[in-house]
């Protein structure tokens, strides 16, 4: 495997022997392990290195693992596996709901560590699509919210899909047939292209200050529609 293709795992553990064991297990499993012994360095490492996953010991000198996790969560959705010394402590941490993705109680064995890492990575962190932001208009595919001039606008599901599709490719012209295919998952054999016309009309009425002279959703005569950023 190419070095650049290897997923980077940050290990935060002050116990040297444990750290070495984790490094060996992860490296052998094809991951790139980046090791840290203290929490502060780990927080900046996560911000800088954008790792695929973090294995985080709770019992660290200075800043403990829970504070490290809280700080990581302020800026990152990276999956975190917490490692604790006692099962009672694990229960307490689960109760705190700090945003860890999994928990392991020491003693930790290489095979179990790698299995947990694989499972959490496969599950992935819930990635959220970025909002599409223009001056005076935002379209957020994650929350399916649209605002015009900061005010929320109510769109039906299809109206939202249509606007989000066009806004995600500003200036690109789409025919009604292309829009039927991409937004309705249909074709003009199955669905009248007037459906598109009608939905554009409705979206305009909701987002345009003058629907007859649209600012955002423009008609390209004889072709279709485009979004003007």
If the CB atoms of residues 13 and 101 are measured against Ca ion, the closer one turns out to be 13
Return the SS3 of 32: strand
Q: What is the DSSP letter of 20?
A: H
* Residue closer to Ca ion (CB basis): 88 or 149: 88
Q: Say whether 223 sits in a helix, a strand or coil.
A: coil
Q: Report, in Å, the least distance between residue 61 CB and Ca ion.
A: 8
CA-to-CA distance for 216 and 212, rounded, in angstroms?
Answer: 11
The DSSP element (H or E) to which 34 belongs, if any, is strand 32-36
Closest distance to Ca ion from the beta carbon of 70 (Å): 18
Binding residues for Ca ion, per CB under 5 A?
14, 57, 59
- 16/198 with CB nearer Ca ion: 16
Between 59 and 131, CB nearer to Ca ion? 59
SS3 content of the chain, % helix, strand, coil (to 5): 40, 20, 40
> C-beta of 109: minimal distance to Ca ion in Å?
17
CB 11 → Ca ion: shortest distance, Å? 12
Q: How many residues does the chain have?
A: 229
Closest among 165, 145, 153, 142 to 207, alpha carbons compared: 153
């Amino acid at each position: 495997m190419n070095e650049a293709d290897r997923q980077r795992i940050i290990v935060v553990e002050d116990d040297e022997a444990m750290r070495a064991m984790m490094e060996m297990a992860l490296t052998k499993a094809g991951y790139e392990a980046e090791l840290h012994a203290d929490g502060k360095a780990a927080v900046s490492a996560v911000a800088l290195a954008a790792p695929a996953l973090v294995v985080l010991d709770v019992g660290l000198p200075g800043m403990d693992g829970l504070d490290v996790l809280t700080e990581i969560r302020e800026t990152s959705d990276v999956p975190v596996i917490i490692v604790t010394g006692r099962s009672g402590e694990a229960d307490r941490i689960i109760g705190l709901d700090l945003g860890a993705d999994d928990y392991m109680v020491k003693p930790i064995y290489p095979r179990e560590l790698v299995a947990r890492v694989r499972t959490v990575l496969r599950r992935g962190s819930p990635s959220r699509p970025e909002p599409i932001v223009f001056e005076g208009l935002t379209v957020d595919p994650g929350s399916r919210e649209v605002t015009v001039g900061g005010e929320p606008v109510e769109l039906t599901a299809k109206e939202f899909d249509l606007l989000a599709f066009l806004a995600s490719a500003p200036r690109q012209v789409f025919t009604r047939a292309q829009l039927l295919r991409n937004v309705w998952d249909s074709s003009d054999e199955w669905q009248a292209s007037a459906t598109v016309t009608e939905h554009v009309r409705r979206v305009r009425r909701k987002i345009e200050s003058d629907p007859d002279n649209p600012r955002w959703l423009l008609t390209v005569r004889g072709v279709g529609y485009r979004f003007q950023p």
